[in-house]
Amino acid sequence: MDSLKVLPCDDGCPVRLTAELVGHKWTTLIVRELISGKKRYSELQRGIPGISPRILAERLKQLEQHQLLKKTIFPTIPPTTEYELTSLGQEMKQLIYAMAAFGQSVQAAGIEVAA
Amino acid sequence: MDSLKVLPCDDGCPVRLTAELVGHKWTTLIVRELISGKKRYSELQRGIPGISPRILAERLKQLEQHQLLKKTIFPTIPPTTEYELTSLGQEMKQLIYAMAAFGQSVQAAGIEVAA
DNA sequence: CAGGATCCACAATGATACTG
DNA sequence: CAGTATCATTGTGGATCCTG
């Protein structure tokens, strides 16, 4: 499929949609953490240095609402939660790989990005 | 290549880099317009309903600085400019297709996105 | 441990008017 | 035509403190 008809973008545009889903600052990093398997809140926090608890919780909530990840709460004391990608969330892997590939091309080209 | 080592993300992460390059609201739509060939400022403006002249100019300038597109000015009266993707910019096509594909999967799944 | 509640700061966008 | 200047507004993120 090489047609540009893949991109009927304007509103309801799948590209826009994707940008809205994963365009927030830490979202891709969270997804990346989960690609290797389910993780707990604190594991994610440790795995993503610099993220604040508020943002982490916010992104996780959004991803859950969009059914890109599944949250499991174990009513233990202290509480335990687990996050894992849904099958739809797994499809983001391809997207993240594409982003990684393009980013590497840019790096290889030696482009300065620091605004 | 199936390794997760493709994603050594943290800082200097290619995924983050890509997000910074195309994460702005209208960037992907602008790139999409240019995939089909070079276009002028006013053509882009017409092709992307809702974008303000300031934002369009800002995005174009960023894309040019990042060497993702090339700007050509014809010193005619009235002035004429043309924008076209560089070879590096062309590589964004793959990324945009991946975004489109994922977005379509999400749409097919019937996910509600309107926050 | 896993977050929720607050408050602040600033970047990003939008709208409009204006100019070489 | 191809932008720039200005202003208002919102979104998004950061830091901190607090709680079941």
pLDDT tens digit sequence for A40-52: 999 999 998 889 9
Residue linked to tokens 């975004």: B99
Residue B4 has pLDDT above 50, yes or no: no
pLDDT of A12 reads 75
**Mean pLDDT score, B16-27:** 90
Map out the domains of chain A with their CATH numbers: 3-108 (1.10.10.10)
For B98, counting Cβ atoms within 10 Å of its Cβ (0-12 exposed, 13-18 middle, 19+ buried), the class is buried
Mean pLDDT computed over B8-13: 65
Protein residues bordering strand D (Cβ below 7 A): A 24-26, 50-55, 58, 78-79; B 40-43, 52-54, 57, 60-61, 71, 73, 78-81
Average pLDDT per block of 10 residues along chain A, 115 residues long: 44 83 89 94 92 94 95 94 97 93 94 74
Best of A97, A106, A112, A113 to disrupt the B interface (most B CBs within 10 Å) is A106
**Quick check: A33 and A47 in contact, CB under 8 A?**
yes
